[in-house]
Amino acid sequence: MRRATIVSATVLSAGLVLAGCGSGDDAGTGDGGDGPVTLTFQSLAFQPESIAANQQIIEQWNADNPDIQVEYLQGDWASVQDQLVTAFEGGTAPDLIHYESSYLQDFADRGWILDITDMVSSELRDDILGGAWEAVTFDDAVYAVPFLLDAQVIFANKTLLDAAGIPVPAPDDPWTWDEFAETSKQLTDADTFGVAWTLKDPANRMLNLALNFGGGFFEESDGASTVVFGDGEKEAFQRIYDQLYVDKSAATDAIGMGGSDPLPGFFAGQYAMLPKGIWFRQQIIDQAPEGFEWVTIPALKGDSQAQAAAPQTISIAAESEHPEEAMAFLEYMLNPENQALLAKGDWMIPASSAAAQDPILTETPDWPVAAASGEFLEQAPFQRVRGYEEWKNKVANPSIEEYFANSISLDELGTRLTEDGNEILERYNR
């Protein structure tokens, strides 16, 4: 009797599944046939200005192209990964997907997004910066069009700088790390820390800073990646550690902060300088109390000012029924004029070189500093390592947090990053 229930339940559910198998694509998008094609575009735009820019671009396109209508869907950064994974598994993904370059390799390996190498027009190819293209190219195949770039800069409390008599460096003559350490010490007193390093989820940030000293963290041979932790990799760690625990010019209460957490301390003058991404300008402008004066300082120079380019991107779903139409829209959406609008809406740097000259961008606060930082964006080794995400979550983030909490030594950190890390990468190298 008991067996009978289990069997009938199984048969019933199996029947359901089988019944649905043939109709897997009816949940997809697009209409086919002779009517107008409908494309779905999921954007992660978040600031009102940026959402408005997206919608304006789409409305214009829809008016100009009655045969290809684009439907705007709004996603969100916090849950987009879960949503996309499920949607790809279920065949219900949007035709056009806004995301970030670091996830593209996994998505491409899983066959979820389209190789668009041969679909990109030469105008678009020439307009977009080489470094940005590199970030979306894996094994010679292009999987997205990059459009928004972030760059690390330092925001500073202008009043405190002036009081200490510290001049703001010009974009073409940035501070070295030594000068920065010295300045931080100068700005530190009983009420103020020279700098607030916000290091929540620190791996990306630290790997990015290590590029200043040529620290690449990963070596590749025969298609297999291994983690290395030599002098180049150590440098930035040691310097920030010294600021925290030797000079005591960096605030220890800020290391667990992320997002807009450091703003109260920054506005109150507890932190004189705040290293952050260029997009953070918007947060400061939005929330700064009246009379608060601030300035943007160019990224620091180690052996170089190199930074990793991790652009926001738009990809076409592999299961899209109308890839050509989707690409046509993408060409329009990411033309220089529109990229300038989008970059302005999100306070970021456009990947389009023509858009970067657009007055609507060049007139935003401290634009020259932002643009100058953008010039040093390049492809970083960690961006092509398979298994980087797992290495980052399981090994790098936790052990870097322990290092900056002063509970493990730099050598111990190195051992964990390399030995524990290589164990994880091994599975991906097979």
Residues of span 183-222 touching other proteins by CB under 8 A: 200-201
Taking Cα atoms as reference points, which of 39, 64, 62 lies closest to residue 327? 39
Give the contacts of 8 (CB within 8 A, at least 6 positions apart).
Answer: none
The DSSP code sequence of 156-211 is: EEHHHHHHTTPPPPPTTSPPBHHHHHHHHHHH--SS-EEE----SS-HHHHHHHHG
Q: How many residues bind other proteins (CB under 8 A)?
A: 81
- Between helices 231-245 and 397-404, what is the axis angle to 10°? 40
Site for other proteins in 270-329 (CB under 8 A): 270, 279, 283, 286-290, 318-319
The verdict on 9 binding other proteins (CB under 8 A) reads: yes
276 vs 301, beta carbon nearer other proteins: 276
Among 5, 167, 363, 430, binds other proteins (CB under 8 A): 5
In angstroms, rounded to a whole number, what is the distance separating the alpha carbons of residues 209 and 130? 21
Give the contacts of 239 (CB within 8 A, at least 6 positions apart).
Answer: 177, 181
Site for other proteins in 241-280 (CB under 8 A): 252-261, 263-265, 267-268, 270, 279
111 vs 368, beta carbon nearer other proteins: 111
76 vs 126, beta carbon nearer other proteins: 76
Q: How many CB atoms lie within 10 A of CB 134?
A: 20
312 vs 352, beta carbon nearer other proteins: 312
Site for other proteins in 103-162 (CB under 8 A): 106, 109-112
The verdict on 402 binding other proteins (CB under 8 A) reads: yes
Among 7, 12, 246, 360, binds other proteins (CB under 8 A): 12
Taking Cα atoms as reference points, which of 49, 119, 2 lies closest to residue 348? 49
Tokens of 215: 């620290």
DSSP 28: S
Alpha helices in 128-176 (DSSP H): 130-135, 158-163
Stretch that binds other proteins, among 61-69, 74-82, 163-171, 303-311 (CB under 8 A): 74-82
State in angstroms the smallest separation of the CB of 153 from other proteins.
Answer: 15
13 vs 60, beta carbon nearer other proteins: 13
State which H helix or E strand residue 369 sits in.
helix 367-374
The verdict on 90 binding other proteins (CB under 8 A) reads: yes
Instruction: Tell me how many degrees the CA angle 236-393-232 measures, rounded to the nearest 5.
Output: 20
271 vs 376, beta carbon nearer other proteins: 271
Stretch that binds other proteins, among 130-138, 230-238, 241-249, 396-404 (CB under 8 A): 396-404
**422 bridge partner residues:** none
In angstroms, rounded to a whole number, what is the distance separating the alpha carbons of residues 62 and 154? 41
Among 76, 231, 324, 411, binds other proteins (CB under 8 A): 76
Among 31, 32, 60, 77, binds other proteins (CB under 8 A): 77
Site for other proteins in 34-63 (CB under 8 A): 40, 44, 46-48, 51
